[in-house]
């Protein structure tokens, strides 16, 4: 019974695949696949959100709002432990840093993402967040959506630039579905994944986003994720304050990024997984015990702040409960310490991202700023919309997202779509741009991209770099070269040269280790002098190449070495210094032109 069901499923999938592959153009196939990716992304986002909410409700619905609860210390550790065991014994692969993994897949793995990522990230992150892990579900679901796109592209044997587009569709659809924000989904791909897309590529992205959002509408309703009622409109006199808030958001973004990198470095120095778990669980448990606002994604707190909830509601289950005057102190401490809770969650073995923490901290930053501006500085500007703390909370959310992710457009459109606060586009733009310009002065890459950027593996909007990323180094290696051994005499060299169609020859020892090169020009004048055949050996003509390439190098490194040396051929060796082949400048440039034509034709 079970196997007949599986066979029927396989037959259905096969029939659908063959129909799509049928009498359709490549453009039509991509559009159909983008629709499928949208359906899968929307359903995956629904399943993840449902699991997170159900687990959280099951664990915390009995908590008393007016009392602290020791289970806040215990639940996150249990969730992280279950997640770590799931990853170690079932997944057996690293599924953390979802967006960074997508960037790496685009940069080094030809946009190929492993099939298990279509479900493993959902399971791991729902357990982590449902039990109170202080991270967001967006990065895991973005990886899930991208995995759907990547594997569909692989199933249909599509070219790499098309697979890359489907990966972007999956990411866009995931963001669109989980936030009900289709425009923000498109902006996320353009700004964060930084694919070099053209106008023709936007249509599949839009199809995916609209499909995934419609799935969310069907399952959750058409309302915005957060309820928001505008009570003070934008006015021109708030522009200086918007700029100042943007600068502050940029500084907080820099703090968040640098603090996270520093704390991740500490976890990286802990060799044993159980040590990472203990350190992370203790740090996270203590922080959540004193600051329950850090429990889970933090969307409840965002909803409270943008709807002017009573301070006791915001500070429930805390030592600050009942003391309304301490609200800003409480939120300020959360603002400073949230980064450690987020890093501890992932460092200990949990699974989640920084999307939700960015929104959470931005909301708090904007709320605090509005209250300090209005109360402490004495700048009472009457009905100025900027002094509405709920408006400022939205501005701060856009500002932190812009700064942490280096994505101002994503921040602007996401906040507008999340809340329906379209009337606030101008202040959202001002704060987002000011935040982005501030952090970009100190940190040129987003929190997702900086790890790859340091290794030179980051794909960007620069089409030259994008094309060099698409071209695979191994595909450029030419291996049909006759090899010399160092003790070979000139007579044997001439015999080898007579059968070769190259003018350069690698010299290797008995184990294949690369020693140097011999060029035909250096031997040419001795070829017709037989009396010298036994007087010279390979070592007499061997020299070092202008530069040496490694199989782990990127094409960007290869082109830089060609530019530096002006060589026409460079040898390639592996990690053990064994000769692999040569890369020619002409072959590399021909491949570049072919991919450039493909980019322009898409």
pLDDT tens for residues 403-428?
A: 999 999 999 999 988 887 678 888 99
pLDDT band at 317 (very low <50, low <70, confident <90, very high): confident
CATH 3.10.580.10 residue ranges of the chain are 471-601
Please name the residue that has the structure tokens 């159980």.
Answer: 274
272's tokens: 């044993």
Q: What angle do CA 456, 458, 464 make, to 5 degrees?
A: 90
Domain 238-462 has CATH 1.10.3080.10: yes
CATH class for the region spanning 24-220: mainly alpha
Backbone angle region of 254, left / alpha / beta, with phi > 0 → left and psi within -120 to 50 → alpha: alpha
C-alpha gyration radius of the chain: 29
Segment 122-128 mean pLDDT:
93
pLDDT band at 339 (very low <50, low <70, confident <90, very high): very high
3-state SS, residue 543 = strand
Please report the DSSP string for 407-468 in residue order: -HHHHHHHHHHHH--GGGHHHHHHHHHHHHHHHHHH-SS-TTTHHHHHTT----S-HHHHHH
- The span from the CA of 127 to the CA of 83, in Å, is 6
Q: Is the pLDDT of residue 438 over 90?
A: yes
pLDDT of residue 437: 95
β-partners of residue 571 are: 582
- The span from the CA of 403 to the CA of 401, in Å, is 5
- The span from the CA of 488 to the CA of 522, in Å, is 15
Lowest mean pLDDT among 134-148, 255-269, 547-561: 547-561
Percent of the chain at pLDDT > 90 equals 33
pLDDT of residue 68: 55
- The span from the CA of 221 to the CA of 208, in Å, is 19
- The span from the CA of 513 to the CA of 179, in Å, is 55
Q: Is the pLDDT of residue 261 over 80?
A: yes
Helix or strand (DSSP H, E) at 389: helix 389-405
C-beta of residue 330 within 8 angstroms of C-beta of residue 320: yes
Choose between 584 and 26: higher pLDDT. 584
Say which CATH architecture domain 471-601 belongs to.
Roll (3.10)
3-state SS, residue 581 = strand
Q: Give the number of other CB atoms < 10 A from CB of residue 115.
A: 14
- The span from the CA of 41 to the CA of 499, in Å, is 57
Residue-wise pLDDT tens digits, 528-558 = 888 888 888 888 889 989 888 888 887 778 8
Please report the DSSP string for 263-300 in residue order: HHHHHHT--SHHHHHHHHHHHHHHHHHH-GGGSTT-HH
Helix or strand (DSSP H, E) at 404: helix 389-405
Q: Is the pLDDT of residue 74 over 50?
A: yes
pLDDT band at 237 (very low <50, low <70, confident <90, very high): confident
- Mean pLDDT, the chain, rounded, equals 83
C-beta of residue 30 within 8 angstroms of C-beta of residue 162: yes
C-beta of residue 595 within 8 angstroms of C-beta of residue 470: yes
Choose between 47 and 107: higher pLDDT. 47
C-beta of residue 592 within 8 angstroms of C-beta of residue 570: no
Q: Which one-letter DSSP state was computed for residue 232?
A: S
- The span from the CA of 102 to the CA of 63, in Å, is 38
User: Between the CA atoms of 105, 466, 168 and 408, what dihedral angle is there, to the nearest 10 degrees?
Assistant: 110
C-beta of residue 49 within 8 angstroms of C-beta of residue 137: yes
Please report the DSSP string for 21-83 in residue order: HSS--HHHHHHHHHHHHHHHHHHHHHHHHHHHHHHHHHHHTT--TTS--THHHHHHHHHHHHH
pTM: 0.76
CATH 1.10.3080.10 residue ranges of the chain are 24-220, 238-462
Residue-wise pLDDT tens digits, 9-68 = 455 555 566 656 666 677 788 888 999 999 999 999 999 999 999 998 888 777 665 555
Residue-wise pLDDT tens digits, 565-574 = 888 888 999 8
């Amino acid at each position: 019974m079970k196997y007949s069901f599986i066979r029927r499923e396989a037959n259905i999938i096969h029939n659908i695949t063959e129909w799509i592959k049928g009498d359709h153009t490549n453009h039509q196939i991509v559009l159909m696949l983008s629709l499928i990716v949208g359906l899968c992304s929307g359903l995956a986002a629904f399943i993840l959100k449902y699991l997170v909410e159900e687990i959280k409700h099951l664990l915390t619905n009995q908590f008393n709002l007016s009392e602290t609860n020791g289970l806040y210390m215990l639940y996150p550790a249990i969730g992280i432990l279950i997640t770590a065991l799931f990853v170690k014994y079932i997944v057996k692969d690293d599924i953390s840093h979802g967006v960074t993994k997508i960037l790496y897949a685009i940069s080094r793995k030809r946009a190929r993402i492993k099939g298990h990522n279509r479900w493993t990230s959902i399971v791991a992150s729902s357990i982590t967040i449902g039990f109170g892990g202080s991270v967001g579900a967006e990065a895991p679901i973005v990886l899930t959506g991208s995995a759907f796109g990547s594997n569909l592209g692989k199933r249909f044997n599509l070219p790499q630039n098309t697979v890359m587009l489907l990966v972007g569709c999956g990411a866009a659809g995931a963001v669109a579905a989980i936030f009900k924000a289709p425009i923000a989904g498109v902006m996320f791909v353009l700004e964060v994944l930084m694919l070099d897309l053209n106008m023709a590529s936007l249509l599949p992205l839009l199809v995916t986003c609209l499909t995934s959002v419609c799935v969310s509408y069907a399952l959750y309703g058409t309302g915005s994720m957060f309820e928001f009622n505008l009570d003070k409109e934008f006015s021109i006199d708030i522009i200086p304050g918007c700029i100042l808030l943007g600068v502050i958001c940029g500084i907080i973004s820099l703090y968040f990024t640098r603090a996270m990198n520093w704390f991740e470095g500490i976890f990286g120095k802990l060799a044993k997984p159980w040590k990472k778990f203990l350190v992370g669980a203790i740090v996270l448990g203590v922080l959540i015990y004193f600051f329950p606002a850090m429990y889970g994604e933090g969307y409840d707190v965002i909803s409270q702040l943008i709807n002017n909830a009573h301070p006791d509601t915001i500070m429930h289950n805390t030592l600050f409960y009942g003391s309304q005057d301490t609200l800003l102190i409480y939120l300020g401490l959360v603002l400073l310490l949230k980064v450690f809770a987020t890093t501890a969650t992932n460092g200990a073995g949990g699974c989640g991202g920084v999307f939700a923490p960015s929104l959470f901290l931005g909301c708090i930053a904007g709320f605090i700023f509005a209250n300090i501006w209005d109360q402490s500085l004495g700048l009472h500007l009457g009905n100025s919309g900027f002094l509405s703390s709920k408006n400022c909370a939205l501005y701060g959310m856009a500002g932190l997202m812009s700064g942490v992710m280096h994505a101002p457009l994503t921040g602007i459109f996401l906040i507008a779509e999340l809340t329906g606060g379209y009337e606030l586009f101008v202040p959202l733009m001002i704060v987002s741009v000011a935040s982005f310009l501030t952090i970009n002065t100190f940190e040129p890459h987003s929190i997702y991209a900086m790890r790859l950027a340091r290794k030179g593996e980051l794909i960007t909007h620069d089409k030259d770099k994008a094309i060099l990323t698409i071209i695979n180094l191994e595909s450029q290696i030419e291996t049909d070269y006759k090899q010399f051994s160092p003790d070979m005499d000139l007579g044997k060299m001439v015999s080898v040269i007579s059968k070769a169609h190259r003018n350069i020859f690698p010299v290797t020892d008995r184990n294949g280790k690369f020693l140097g090169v011999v060029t035909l020009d250096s031997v040419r004048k001795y070829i017709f002098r037989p009396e010298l055949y036994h007087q010279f050996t390979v070592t007499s003509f061997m020299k070092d190449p202008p530069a040496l390439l490694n199989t782990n190098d990127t094409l960007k490194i290869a082109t830089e070495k060609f530019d530096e040396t002006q060589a026409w051929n460079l040898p390639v060796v592996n990690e053990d210094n064994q000769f692999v082949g040569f890369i020619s400048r002409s072959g590399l440039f021909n491949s570049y032109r072919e991919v450039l034509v493909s980019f322009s034709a898409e």
